[in-house]
Structures are given as C-alpha cells and as structure tokens.
Structure 1
Amino acid sequence: MTLVKFNPAKTHNGSLMPGFNDVFDSIFNDTFFNDCMVTRVPAVNISETEDHYHVELAAPGLKKEDFKINLERNALNISVEQQRENTDQKKNYSKREYSYSSFVRSFTLPDSANAEGIEAAYTDGVLKIDIAKREEAKAVRRQIEIK
C-alpha cells in the first residue's frame, strides 16, 4: 500500500478527479526527486565598483583545476565537469558507483566591460572573477564649485 498526500483544502481548478493531481504532487515533491533530479548550480553574487565588475561564485569542495572559464563573444562562461571514481583496491566490489557532477553559468558582459582585463582566483570555496571596466565607462567624479 502506498500513502499519498491529499489536501482537500487545495483548489483543483475544476478538475474532474480532484485527488488525481495530488498523486503527482506527492511523487514529484518527494525529497528523492528534489535531491537527485534537480540541477543545482552554485549561487552567484555580482557587484560593481568604480573600476571593476565582481563576480563571486560559491563552489566549495572544488579545486581551481576543476573550473573552465572562457569568454565567447560577449558571454562569460563558467563551467565545471567533475567525475569522481570510488577506488579502493583492497576490496572486491560487486557494485561500484561513480559520482559525476557538472554545471555551467553564463553571464552577458555589459558593453562597458574590458574583455582583456579579466582575472580569476579560487580561494576558500569561492571563485572570484574581476572584470575591468573600459576607461570611458569609469565614473568621472569631480567637485563642482558653486559661484
């Protein structure tokens, strides 16, 4: 017997079989599907200073060699493709499982970004990318005298 969540208070938008949608809701809202089938991408913070744009991508547990960063046309692409093999030579395995994870994040650079002035560093689980601004895009500040 399978238990199915049923919510009688939920509106069913005129469905002829009100419990029918609840069956699919209980299946696809299950933690198994949430954990295994949902693509996870790292969170990103984007900020700006006078001279640079800053992208910070939270990706703990990786090495800097795992990242591939490229600029194609006006799009900055950050990708990771990681395959871990469970290798223990002391045991005879009747089953071995591999872990594979990958993601791609793409960002369109503004026209004011200098494609030649991009630097990246990975420390403490955070990938930091600094994108220089073009000289003409930098904010001009000066004091205006009142007469």
Structure 2
Amino acid sequence: MALPARQPRSVFPELSELFDSLRLPALGTVFGNNPIRVEDRIDEGRYIVRAELPGLDPDQDISVTVDHGRLDIHAERTEEKTEKGRSEFSYGSFHRSVTLPAGAKDDDVEASYTQGILTISIGLGEEPDTAKKIDIKTTD
C-alpha cells in the first residue's frame, strides 16, 4: 500500500499561526482563543499530531474531534485565584484545528496524553483519485 504524499508546507504560516502571533498582553489573542502549539509527521502509515497541553486533566479538560477532514483540539484551563503572587500561565479556552492529509481515516483515530503532551494518531489509507474524466455529450 502506497502512503499518501505529504502535502508540502506553505511558505506562509497557516492563518491560525499568524493570528496566534498577534498576541497583545492586555487583550490575549486578537481573535479570542489561546494557541495550542502542535507538531505533525507521517509515520508507518499513520498521521501523528502532538499538541503541547501541560497541566491539564485529559478526562475533564481536553476534547478531540475529527470531522470532514479536520482535527479539532479543544482544552480548558481554569484559573486558580490567589490573593498574593503573580502568574504568567495562560488560562481559559484553547483551540486548534488541523487539516488532515488526503486519505486520513476519521474512523481510525487514537489519542493518548503523557507528561503534558497529547498525541493523536490517525490511520491513512489510499489517497482517493481526485481527477475524473467527464464525457462530453453532443446535441444537435
């Protein structure tokens, strides 16, 4: 079985990465969501996405969904209020969407969480043929 060709990365970052870089200290992220940093690769017929989510309870704070060629990761970190001290931690809702490569099987998804890293593994199948010859009918 041939693996689907890896889509080349654009010279330009994904829009979510661009928006995530526009952080203003007083306002958080310009578009409201905190970023989730990810890395991805294809390994032994599987698409692997790793997300950096330290200090969360995967059973209560993290949600992973796959739908129509998109992987969505949602997380929530609740702020612990204290009278003294300061915090540089990010609190609130976190979200990241990743476009899946061609041939990704949305019914073959596994996720695990170890030492603050969420790892999602998605099976890959044959890349569907995208070109289709269309017959042209003639009329008199």
* TM-score bracket for this pair, using the shorter chain length: 0.5 to 0.7
| Number of residue equivalences | 94
RMSD of equivalent CA atoms:
2.3
Change (3 A) 1:37 1:123: same
Q: CA deviation at 1:43?
A: 1.4
Q: CA deviation at 1:36?
A: 3.7
Give the TM-score of the pair, scaled to structure 1. Answer: 0.55
Give yes or no for contact 2:69–2:104 (8 Å, CA) kept in 1.
no
What is aligned with 1:80? 75
Q: Would you identify which runs of 4 or more consecutive aligned residues in structure 1 move more than 4 Å?
A: none
Match status 1:123 vs 2:114:
yes
Q: CA deviation at 1:100?
A: 4.4
Q: CA deviation at 1:85?
A: 4.8
- Letter of the 1:37 partner, please give it: L
Q: Which has the higher contact order (CA 8 A, sep 6+)?
A: 2
Give yes or no for contact 2:78–2:91 (8 Å, CA) kept in 1.
yes
What is aligned with 1:4? none
Identical columns (%): 35
The equivalences for 1:11-90 within 5 A come to 34-39=24-29, 40-65=34-59, 66-86=61-81
Larger Rg computed on CA atoms = 1
Give the TM-score of the pair, scaled to structure 2. Answer: 0.58
List per-residue Cα deviations over 1:49-68 (Å, max 9, x = no partner): 13101101111111112111
Distance 1:127 1:86 in 2: 26
2:101 match: secondary structure: coil
Give yes or no for contact 2:39–2:51 (8 Å, CA) kept in 1.
yes
Unaligned runs of 5+ residues in structure 1 are 1-32, 88-92, 94-98, 138-147
Distance 1:121 1:78 in 2: 13
Distance 1:36 1:60 in 2: 23
Distance 2:116 2:76 in 1: 16
